[in-house]
Structure 1
């Protein structure tokens, strides 16, 4: 029997071990599916202090002498899938609590360049088999700026594994000044526009973009958007140049965790044949958030970062009209202080209509997905988005701006798409409050037609957003064959 093909999956966060956003959901789900398909996949993560504190078991399996410092490699496993995880233990990661990327004041850790270059150096060493471990990768898959330099470190090596680099969000480039570049003692050839220099700064992200065998983004539409301005964030020239090596692969979701029929976090489980039970979740959510228990009002939900990217500035001007139209709103998230303040002031003025929770709360996120009637994602840009897919799975119709992965997953409920049976939500195109207002009006109108609304819900819940199809696309890029 042939040896399984070996994949190193290098990433800065993975659910449920550590999570700040959708990157962690992908890193928690995709390796599990690849593992089931017969791949010997190992996840490489920093051993953050908060992660180590909640681990039940781990063991040291190696020590690495890297240019950025000496580190220990701990081994554990993902709780649900059993996928092996290697944790990079070093004081820069393990000796501090809190957010993986930011200090308590919300500023990036001052040594982020050193920290994530160390992670990239470890990824390169492990992928090449330059450790005491009897393991060498056939493919290295890196994600976002935190691990992109690992791709560059392998570029000139003979007998190197195939490299794949995934852009989850091009808005975060990992930019550092020239002094930082010099302090890291990196190859001088990296300081050039053809490599990792970017308008006088050192750009971690370019390590993946310039040197990877394959670049992927997390949706086909986002792959097109980043090849031109403004979506390319100044890198559209490089991305257009590498267009033949750029592929958009839509993210999937973990359909075991996000399943309304079995989700243990819900007040009542349901499926597409039991949509009347969804109303029990709405009532429970209203009770939990202190909203009046009204079945005759639509409940809109929002879960995510309170940031400009997420379209909060489009939403704020229409909130008065939404409340006046007799609707309720549940918001969960944290982010920019000005947006937290604006939403907080509005919620205080309308306590019977608006519930705001400035927190990260996975349990409440599930309950909002199940209890809301409409899920809001008016994003200015959205590489993929996962919440709209969670919403579709839960029969909570997403209302989105048609960009990136939102355009690839949500079909607007127009007369034509309703008649064709393809509609599964609401979408608008222009990045302004007027376009959002029009989409909200259409959603409110349709919500008051229960038969049509239920048909849309059932259509939404029939979609397949599992990782299986996407995982096979990644196997092709790695040059792997699925286990027969």
Structure 2
């Protein structure tokens, strides 16, 4: 089965969030499961730099006001895959980030930049590469949302799948831009890319793809309801028969405490004592007091309301009063950044904050922490809690989306039957989080139970092999098999 994965970023070449981790791991997992998988990416500087032995495959024509471009093929060894890169310096090679400029303002021509990605996918399905043509195009998130529409516009025989990684980000543009995309006029309507009078790339993928998926079973159910459907719940309910929830995996080549070169001391369930060496190193690196028996709560996250970081901010003084420590790595809302910095200034021996993102330091945080906090308002899948499970850093999560699917609360019953893997709470408020924090502190004061839950957590398997088989089953359904 020839499968083309269409995405805007890929780990480790370019990453702004969890989408890159999926794009970096899934193609290799599909290859291992027997598929012939390649990727298609925009030609951002970091992607072009990671492309080896590039060969010109095709000159892609202009579509409406979507510029012509060159299609290159080569190896992406850092991502352990091969694929196509759209070379268009005017569209993709800019001083800012992949989606926004240095002032975090979205580029005014994002509709053209990512329409070019959708058209390139359809053109490959139509034979732009004379030696390789996909039977199925798998488009990821709104950036690739036009790919299924472009396939339909060209009458392509290829099947299509569209995956929602986060429904909150939809690729919405003014209706006047539709005329620039080169799509048939009838595609702008309720049965098409129109959404409340505007142009919506996410809706394009949801409407035109043969099958849909999202990144956890619970999130697949949640987005069919108004609270988390972001206005698209009606369409998702209509298409529920072809909507699949498939959990993301963790790449063991990147996240494995037994072989992680980024951490101070490697460890495994039988040698959990070595985890303390990582905690001591983390405390030293962040200027925290070197207190081995102080529970260390960590956060690795974008600083947004969706992630529940305002709840964490309110909870930190209480944690410190209980003798705990707190360390954060992340960036986002300027007000939140300032508030966490202030907490660190007030109690530097107990609270440490590093604004920004550093992949290697994220590994050190996960290895050195005792509890990783993910108290999200909504969470399609979540990856940080999966990293926490793998590293024996117990996740403290809200019961939503993929968090609900992957973490089992340390209730008495779960402790008794050996299924407990972390702390789970329900209400998205300070009281709900406080209850889970008390449960975490109580468990930490029982070292034997704490170690048992750590081993339970590390025994969980959320690997890409399982996910790849689920994706292949969906592909077969989309192909009519």
TM-score bracket relative to the smaller structure: over 0.9
Once the 2 structures are TM-superposed, how far is the Cα of residue 159 of structure 1 from its aligned partner?
A: 5.1
Say if 1:374 and 1:397, in contact at 8 Å, map to a contact too: yes
SS, match of residue 308 in structure 1? coil
405, 417, 422: which one aligns with 2:402: 405
Distance across 1 between alignment mates of 2:474 and 2:102: 39
SS, match of residue 276 in structure 1? helix
Say if 2:119 and 2:147, in contact at 8 Å, map to a contact too: yes
67, 70, 94: which one aligns with 2:68: 70
Once the 2 structures are TM-superposed, how far is the Cα of residue 53 of structure 1 from its aligned partner?
A: 4.3
Once the 2 structures are TM-superposed, how far is the Cα of residue 237 of structure 1 from its aligned partner?
A: 0.4
Question: 1:310 matched to which residue of 2?
Answer: 307
Q: Deviations over 1:249-288 (max 9, x none)?
A: 1111101210000000010000000000000000011111
Say if 1:66 and 1:122, in contact at 8 Å, map to a contact too: no
Question: 2:330 matched to which residue of 1?
Answer: 333
Structure 1, unmatched stretches of 5+, are none
Structure 2 residue 21 is matched with structure 1 residue 25: yes
Distance across 2 between alignment mates of 1:117 and 1:42: 20
Once the 2 structures are TM-superposed, how far is the Cα of residue 12 of structure 1 from its aligned partner?
A: 0.5
Question: 1:35 matched to which residue of 2?
Answer: 31
Question: 2:202 matched to which residue of 1?
Answer: 205
Distance across 2 between alignment mates of 1:205 and 1:480: 22
Question: 2:119 matched to which residue of 1?
Answer: 121
Distance across 2 between alignment mates of 1:195 and 1:473: 28
Question: 1:102 matched to which residue of 2?
Answer: 100
Once the 2 structures are TM-superposed, how far is the Cα of residue 331 of structure 1 from its aligned partner?
A: 0.4
Structure 2 residue 395 is matched with structure 1 residue 363: no
Q: Deviations over 1:175-222 (max 9, x none)?
A: 000121223343221221121111111100011111111100000000
The residue correspondences of 1:442-457 to structure 2 (distance < 5 A) are: 442-457=439-454
Once the 2 structures are TM-superposed, how far is the Cα of residue 50 of structure 1 from its aligned partner?
A: 3.5
Gap change, CA 1:188 and 1:98, over 3 Å in 2: same
Question: 2:48 matched to which residue of 1?
Answer: 52
Structure 2 residue 271 is matched with structure 1 residue 269: no
RMSD: 1.5
Q: Deviations over 1:215-251 (max 9, x none)?
A: 0000000000000011100111000011101110111
Question: 2:174 matched to which residue of 1?
Answer: 177
Say if 1:49 and 1:93, in contact at 8 Å, map to a contact too: no
Gap change, CA 1:94 and 1:149, over 3 Å in 2: closer
Q: Deviations over 1:160-189 (max 9, x none)?
A: 111110000000010000121223343221
158, 164, 176: which one aligns with 1:167: 164
Say if 2:51 and 2:76, in contact at 8 Å, map to a contact too: no
Aligned positions, number: 476
Say if 1:50 and 1:97, in contact at 8 Å, map to a contact too: no
Query: 104-113 or 86-95: which moved more?
Result: 86-95
Distance across 2 between alignment mates of 1:480 and 1:459: 35
Say if 2:142 and 2:202, in contact at 8 Å, map to a contact too: yes
SS, match of residue 400 in structure 1? strand
Once the 2 structures are TM-superposed, how far is the Cα of residue 101 of structure 1 from its aligned partner?
A: 0.6
Distance across 1 between alignment mates of 2:361 and 2:53: 28
Structure 2 residue 200 is matched with structure 1 residue 192: no
Say if 1:34 and 1:41, in contact at 8 Å, map to a contact too: yes
Say if 1:178 and 1:201, in contact at 8 Å, map to a contact too: yes
Once the 2 structures are TM-superposed, how far is the Cα of residue 366 of structure 1 from its aligned partner?
A: 0.4
Distance across 2 between alignment mates of 1:262 and 1:477: 33
The residue correspondences of 1:78-477 to structure 2 (distance < 5 A) are: 78-80=76-78, 82-129=80-127, 131-155=128-152, 157-158=154-155, 160-477=157-474
Once the 2 structures are TM-superposed, how far is the Cα of residue 158 of structure 1 from its aligned partner?
A: 4.4
Distance across 2 between alignment mates of 1:331 and 1:451: 27
Q: TM-score, normalised by structure 2?
A: 0.96
Distance across 2 between alignment mates of 1:204 and 1:98: 22
Once the 2 structures are TM-superposed, how far is the Cα of residue 405 of structure 1 from its aligned partner?
A: 0.1
Structure 2 residue 57 is matched with structure 1 residue 61: yes
Q: TM-score, normalised by structure 1?
A: 0.96
Gap change, CA 1:257 and 1:458, over 3 Å in 2: same
Distance across 2 between alignment mates of 1:343 and 1:422: 34
Say if 2:145 and 2:201, in contact at 8 Å, map to a contact too: yes
Gap change, CA 1:54 and 1:122, over 3 Å in 2: closer
Say if 1:92 and 1:115, in contact at 8 Å, map to a contact too: no
Gap change, CA 1:94 and 1:148, over 3 Å in 2: closer
Distance across 2 between alignment mates of 1:386 and 1:214: 24
SS, match of residue 291 in structure 1? coil
Structure 2, unmatched stretches of 5+, are none
SS, match of residue 310 in structure 1? coil
Say if 2:142 and 2:169, in contact at 8 Å, map to a contact too: yes
Distance across 1 between alignment mates of 2:42 and 2:144: 11
